[in-house]
Amino acid sequence: MDCKLFLEERDDFCGRMYGLRLGKIDVLKEAMEKSVEKKGLVKLFLIVPVGQTHRILKKAFREKIGVDYLFSQELDDLAKAGHDRWPIQSYFIRHGGHQEATGGDEKLRLLSAKKIWQRKIATMTSLEISQFSFEYVLASGVFTDVKSVSLAAGSRDVDGFVPSVHRRSAIVRVDCYHPSIALDNLRSRVAA
């Protein structure tokens, strides 16, 4: 697929789903073409529109798929972690596209958020995981993280804890873990 066409489709999608637009598509297109040249596979891009928030995603989960999206703290006020992305324009990340966090990169198995930060591994933030989860269920009809928990090692809340995203019953939950916790079903998602 052509990057410009892909971005135009995503711009329309973001407008319909989130009430947000991508803005400078040409800037995104140029960066995306360079990434596609190196690694291929446009479908594994997550496009995060400028202005995206957990509040907007909460509304989208409720209105578009009828699911509650609960978080234990106010995630739109997260403290900035070392490699968290706080954009002033829309951006994209590459991801693995896995339904379960544990279906992804084995090098992250049993690594705590603290170890991930120390190794400078770029992982998805809580906002990116939440948007990915929403878009995954829209496209496939299947929820992400039913058996596992996605650790958002790219984010921290104000007390230093690390948000995590998972589905329980009819609810998508965002809870927090201590940065030193490493569990077999708790896995970060690589973002490139």
Give Cα 84 distance to the centre of its chain. 11
pLDDT exceeds 90 at position 146 = no
- The mean pLDDT value for 32-44 works out to 71
CA nearest to 152, candidates 89, 88, 37, 73: 73
Looking at residue 17, what is its pLDDT? Answer: 96
pLDDT at 21: 92
pLDDT at 186 over 80: yes
Share of the chain above pLDDT 70, in %: 83
Q: Determine the Cα–Cα distance for residues 90 and 112; give it in Å rounded to an integer.
A: 29
pLDDT tier for residue 73 given thresholds of 50, 70 and 90: low
Q: What is the mean pLDDT of residues 157-182?
A: 78
Answer whether residue 77 shows pLDDT above 70: no
* 67-103 residues labelled b (16+ CB within 10 A) or e (exposed): bebebeeebeebeebebbbeeeebbbbbbebbbbbbe
- pTM score: 0.86
Alpha-carbon distance 180 to 161, whole Å? 9
Predicted confidence (pLDDT) at residue 171 exceeds the cutoff of 80: no
pLDDT tens digit sequence for 87-105: 678 888 888 888 888 777 6
Q: Which two tokens stand for residue 189?
A: 């998602």
Structural domain boundaries of the chain?
3-188
Confidence of residue 83 (pLDDT cuts 50, 70, 90): very low
Short-list 175, 32, 75, CA closest to 183: 175
Are 19 and 89 in contact, with CB atoms under 8 Å apart?
no
